[in-house]
Amino acid sequence: MLEAWRKSRRVVHAHCDLPCGVYDPAQARIEAESVKAIQEKYQASEDPAFRTRALAIKEERAELVKHHLWVLWTDYFKPEHLEKYPQLHELFWNATKEAGLAKKSEDPAQGQKLLDLIDEIAKIFWETKAA
Amino acid sequence: MLEAWRKSRRVVHAHCDLPCGVYDPAQARIEAESVKAIQEKYQASEDPAFRTRALAIKEERAELVKHHLWVLWTDYFKPEHLEKYPQLHELFWNATKEAGLAKKSEDPAQGQKLLDLIDEIAKIFWETKAA
Amino acid sequence: MLEAWRKSRRVVHAHCDLPCGVYDPAQARIEAESVKAIQEKYQASEDPAFRTRALAIKEERAELVKHHLWVLWTDYFKPEHLEKYPQLHELFWNATKEAGLAKKSEDPAQGQKLLDLIDEIAKIFWETKAA
Amino acid sequence: MLEAWRKSRRVVHAHCDLPCGVYDPAQARIEAESVKAIQEKYQASEDPAFRTRALAIKEERAELVKHHLWVLWTDYFKPEHLEKYPQLHELFWNATKEAGLAKKSEDPAQGQKLLDLIDEIAKIFWETKAA
Amino acid sequence: MLEAWRKSRRVVHAHCDLPCGVYDPAQARIEAESVKAIQEKYQASEDPAFRTRALAIKEERAELVKHHLWVLWTDYFKPEHLEKYPQLHELFWNATKEAGLAKKSEDPAQGQKLLDLIDEIAKIFWETKAA
Amino acid sequence: MLEAWRKSRRVVHAHCDLPCGVYDPAQARIEAESVKAIQEKYQASEDPAFRTRALAIKEERAELVKHHLWVLWTDYFKPEHLEKYPQLHELFWNATKEAGLAKKSEDPAQGQKLLDLIDEIAKIFWETKAA
C-alpha cells in the first residue's frame, strides 16, 4: 500500500510564487470531492441546521477549488503548453465557472461535472510533466 | 497516464467538519514538498531579496502543513484507529513539531525529515482506509 | 479593578512560531465562551435569519478554538510536560474533537463541555508556568 | 468634488459569487498601485528592516491583484464578451502572470507594466458596462 | 470612457502599513454596494438555500467594509485632518457600527444608510487629498 | 492556581457580530505581548534569517492587535460609555496607530507603549463591565 501511495505521489510538484515549482491538481480535486460529498449529504438530510452548515461550508470549498485552479492556470502553465493544448484557457475558464456554480447548486451531478473538468485539466497537467 | 492518475486518486477522501468525509494526507505532503523545495532554492541563491521572500513563503507553507496534519489527527482518526496504532498521538505531535521547525530551518534535510514523518502518517492513513 | 486585571494578566505568555514564547489558553477560552453564547442565543431565537447567522459564526468560532488548542499542544507543550501529565495527548484530542462537535451542536451543554475541557488544559498550563 | 466622486463611482458594480453583480477593476488597480509604490519606496531606502517589510507586504499585495483579476475573469466576463474581445483570455493570463512577477521584482517599471495591463482590462470592462 | 475612468482613478492612493501611501474609500464602498445588492436580492428571493448563502456572504462583505473603514481611520487620517474635521471619530464610529448592523439587516434601506456614511467619509477624504 | 485562573476569567465577555456579547481586551494584549517579545528577540539576535522572520511575524501580530482593538471600539463600546469616558475615540485612535508603528519599530520600548495604551483601554473596559 505504501509503495503504491509513494509511487502515485512521486510526481507531485509545487505551487507557490517563489516559485517553489510544486504544483498538483490534487489540491483542486480534493476540494471538489468535498463539494460533491457535501451536495450528497445535503440531499440526504432534512435538518435545516445541517443544511445551513452544508451551504456555508460548500461556499468555502468551492472557493478553494477556484483558487487552486487559478494558480495552476496562471503559475504552472506556460506559453509552450498553450501551443500544444490550445484549449487550456477555455478549459480553465469553464472549470472555474463550474466551481462558481457549485456554490449555487446542491446537485451532486453538478459536483461531478466539476470533477470531470478537473480531471481533464489533470490529464493535461500530467502529460506536460511526463513530457 | 490518466488511468494511473485516476486510480491513484480514487481513494481520495474528505476533510471539512460537516463532515464531508474527505481526507487526504496529500494536502500536508504537497505543502511539505514546497517547504523542502524552498529550502533547496534558499541554499542555491545568494540574492537577499530572494532569500527574504523564501523565508516568508516557507513560514506560510509550514503553517499549512501543521494545519492539514492537525485536521487529520483530530477529525479523521478515531479511537479505534488509536487502539490499532498506539503511536498516533506521538507521531502527529512529532510531525507538527517538525513542521514548526521547518519555519526555523533552511536545511533541506530538515524538510526531508518532515516529509518522512508525513509518509509514516500517510502509510497508516491508507491502511485504515483499506481496512 | 485595574490592579486585579493587571495581576491576572501578568502571567500571560506567547504563541507564534518565532517562537515569541507567548502562549495563553485564554485565546481558546474566549472563542469557546463565544461558541456557548451563540448556542444559547440560537435556542432563544426563532428568527431563521438570526439562526442562519448563528450557525455560520459558530462554525468560525469553533474553528478558532481548535486552532488555538492545536497551537498550545504542538508549540507550547514539551516532552518534559508530557512526562508529568501523561494525559496531555488524550486531553487535547478530546478537546479539539469537542470543538469540532460544537460546529454540529446547538446545545449550550455541549459548549459547556468544551469549556470544561479547556479549563482542564488551562489548569495544567498554569501549573507548568508556575513550576 | 463630491459630485465628481459620486459620478465616477456611480458605475461601480459587484463581485461576490451570490452573485451580487458588483464588480470593479478598481480593486485590482488599488493593490497594483500599492505594489508599484512599494517598489519605489524599496529603491529609495537602504534600511534592511524596511526592505524586508516591503518585500513581505508586496508579496501580499501582488497576491490580491491576482485574486481580484481572477474574479473578474471567471465571474464577470461572459461568452458574449469573449466573442467581442477575443483577446480576453490572453490579456488576463498576461496580467495575472505580471502580478506574479511583481512578487519577484523590485523595479517600479515592472509595477507600471502591471498597471498598464489592468488599465487595458478596465477599458474593456467599462465598455461592456456601457454597452 | 477610458479617459473618464483614468481620470477618476488618477487620484487613487494607498493603504498598507509600510506605508505605501495608497488609500481609497472605494474599497469600502465596493463592499458596501455588494452588501446592499445582497439585501435586495435577499428580498427578491424566497429560495431558502439562496437566502442562507446571501446571509453568509453578506456577513463577510460587511466585515470587509468595517476593515477598510478602520484602515482609513487609523492609517490615513492624521491629527491635522481631525482638527479640520472634528466629526471624524464620530463619523467612523457610526459608519463601522452601521456596517455591523448590515450583518443583522436584510433591508436595502439599511445598506443605503451605510453607503451614505461612506460617501460622507469619501467627501472628506478627497477634500484632504485635494488640499 | 486553577481557582485564581477561573476567577480571573469569570469576567470574560464576547466579540462577534452576532453579537455573542463576548469581548475581552486580553485578545489585543496577548498579541501585543508577542509584538514586544519579538522586538526583544530581534535585538538579541544577529542572524539575518531570524531577523527576517521576526519582522514578518511582527507584521502579522501587530495587525491582529489593530483588529482586536477596532472590534472593541466599534462593537463593544456604546454611546453611554463615550459619555462617561470622552477620551475613548482618541485613546483607540492612538492605540491602533501605535500598533501600526509596531510594524515599523524593532524597539521593545515601543512595544511597551503599545501595551500601556492597551492597559488604559482594559481599565476602562473592566470598569464598564463592573458598572
ipTM given for this complex: 0.89
A vs C: CB pairs below 8 A: 17
pLDDT band with cut points at 50, 70 and 90 for residue F131: confident
Long-range contacts of F43-52 (CB under 8 A, 24+ apart): F43/F106, F43/F107, F43/F108, F48/B48, F48/D48, F49/B51, F49/B55, F49/B106, F50/B104, F50/C18, F51/D49, F51/D52, F52/B51, F52/B52, F52/B55, F52/B56, F52/D52
**In percent, how much of chain D has pLDDT > 90?**
86
Whole-angstrom distance, CA of residue D7 vs CA of residue C131: 66
Three cell numbers, residue F47: 542572524
Q: Tens digit of pLDDT for each residue in E23-33?
A: 999 999 999 99
Which residues of chain B lie closer than 8 angstroms to D106, CB-CB?
49
Torsion angles phi and psi, residue E7, rounded to 5: -65, -45
Give the domain D23-130 fold.
Answer: Four Helix Bundle (Hemerythrin (Met), subunit A) (1.20.120)
Region B88-106 average pLDDT: 98
Whether B57 and chain D come into contact, CB under 8 Å, resolves to: yes
Q: Residue A90, Cβ neighbours under 10 Å: how many?
A: 12
Closest partner residue to B52 (CB to CB) among F50, F52, F57 is F52
Which of F47, F59, F63, F107 to mutate: most D Cβ within 10 Å? Answer: F59
Region E76-94 average pLDDT: 98
Q: Are C59 and B17 within 8 A, CB to CB?
A: yes
**Cβ-count burial E29-58 (b if 16+ within 10 Å, e if not):** bbbbbbbbbbbbbbeeeeeebbbbbbbbbb
- Are D95 and D111 in contact by the 8 Å Cβ rule? The answer is no
Q: Are F70 and E17 within 8 A, CB to CB?
A: no
pLDDT value at residue E131: 83
Three cell numbers, residue B69: 496534519
Quick check: D17 pLDDT over 60?
A: yes
Quick check: F4 pLDDT over 60?
A: no
Q: Are E106 and C56 within 8 A, CB to CB?
A: no
pLDDT value at residue C42: 98
pLDDT value at residue E15: 65
Chain F touching partners, 3 or more CB pairs below 8 A:
B, C, D, E
* Ramachandran sector of residue E45 (left: φ over 0; alpha: ψ -120 to 50; beta: rest): beta
Region E51-68 average pLDDT: 97
Minimum CA–CA partner of A51 in chain B: B18
Q: Tens digit of pLDDT for each residue in E2-43?
A: 333 333 333 333 468 899 999 999 999 999 999 999 999 999
- Are D99 and D65 in contact by the 8 Å Cβ rule? The answer is yes
| Closest CA relative to residue B39, chosen from B95, B96, B107 | B107
pLDDT value at residue C63: 96
Q: Which amino acid, one-letter code, is at F99?
A: A
pLDDT value at residue D81: 98
Whole-angstrom distance, CA of residue A18 vs CA of residue B58: 10
pLDDT value at residue D91: 98
Minimum CA–CA partner of B105 in chain F: F49
Q: What is the pLDDT along chain C (131 residues), one digit of tens a residue?
A: 333 333 333 333 346 889 999 999 999 999 999 999 999 999 999 999 999 999 999 999 999 999 999 999 999 999 999 999 999 999 999 999 999 999 999 999 999 999 999 999 999 999 999 98
CATH for C26-130 is 1.20.120.400
pLDDT value at residue B16: 81
Which residues of chain D lie closer than 8 angstroms to B56, CB-CB?
55-56, 59
Whether C8 and chain A come into contact, CB under 8 Å, resolves to: no
Which of B50, B55, B104 to mutate: most F Cβ within 10 Å? Answer: B55
Does E have 3 or more CB contacts under 8 Å with A? yes
Quick check: F18 pLDDT over 70?
A: yes
Quick check: B6 pLDDT over 60?
A: no
Whole-angstrom distance, CA of residue D66 vs CA of residue C5: 45
Which residues of chain D lie closer than 8 angstroms to A100, CB-CB?
17, 74-75
Mean pLDDT of chain E: 90
Q: Are D61 and E13 within 8 A, CB to CB?
A: no
Low-confidence ranges of chain A (pLDDT < 70): 1-15
DSSP chain F: -HHHHHHHHHT----STTTT----THHHHHHHHHHHHHHHHHHH---HHHHHHHHHHHHHHHHHHHHHHHHIIIII--HHHHHH-TTHHHHHHHHHHHHHHHHH---HHHHHHHHHHHHHHHHHHHHHHH-
**Nearest-10 crossing angle of helices B88-104, C88-104:** 90
pLDDT value at residue D131: 84
| Minimum distance, in Å, between the CA of residue A104 and any CA atom of chain E | 8
Three cell numbers, residue A39: 451536495
pLDDT value at residue A101: 98
For chain E, what is the largest distance between any 2 Cα atoms, rounded to a whole number of angstroms?
Answer: 51
Mean pLDDT of chain A: 90
Chain C touching partners, 3 or more CB pairs below 8 A:
A, B, E, F
Whether C56 and chain F come into contact, CB under 8 Å, resolves to: no
A vs D: CB pairs below 8 A: 42
pLDDT value at residue A131: 83
Q: Are E17 and F73 within 8 A, CB to CB?
A: no
What SS3 state is found at A22? coil
Helix (H) or strand (E) holding E72: none
- Are B115 and B36 in contact by the 8 Å Cβ rule? The answer is yes
Minimum CA–CA partner of C15 in chain F: F34
Quick check: D15 pLDDT over 70?
A: no
Q: Which residue has the higher pLDDT, B108 or B1?
A: B108
Class of domain F27-130 (CATH, top level): mainly alpha
Chain D touching partners, 3 or more CB pairs below 8 A:
A, B, E, F
Region D85-98 average pLDDT: 98
Whether D60 and chain B come into contact, CB under 8 Å, resolves to: no
Please give the model's pTM, rounded to 2 decimal places: 0.90
Class of domain B32-130 (CATH, top level): mainly alpha
Q: Which amino acid, one-letter code, is at C131?
A: A
Does D have 3 or more CB contacts under 8 Å with C? no
Q: Are C57 and E52 within 8 A, CB to CB?
A: no
Taking the CA atoms of residue C55, residue C56, residue C59 and residue C60 in that order, the dihedral angle to the nearest 10 degrees is -140
Whether C103 and chain A come into contact, CB under 8 Å, resolves to: yes
Quick check: B1 pLDDT over 50?
A: no
pLDDT value at residue C73: 98
Whole-angstrom distance, CA of residue E108 vs CA of residue E98: 13
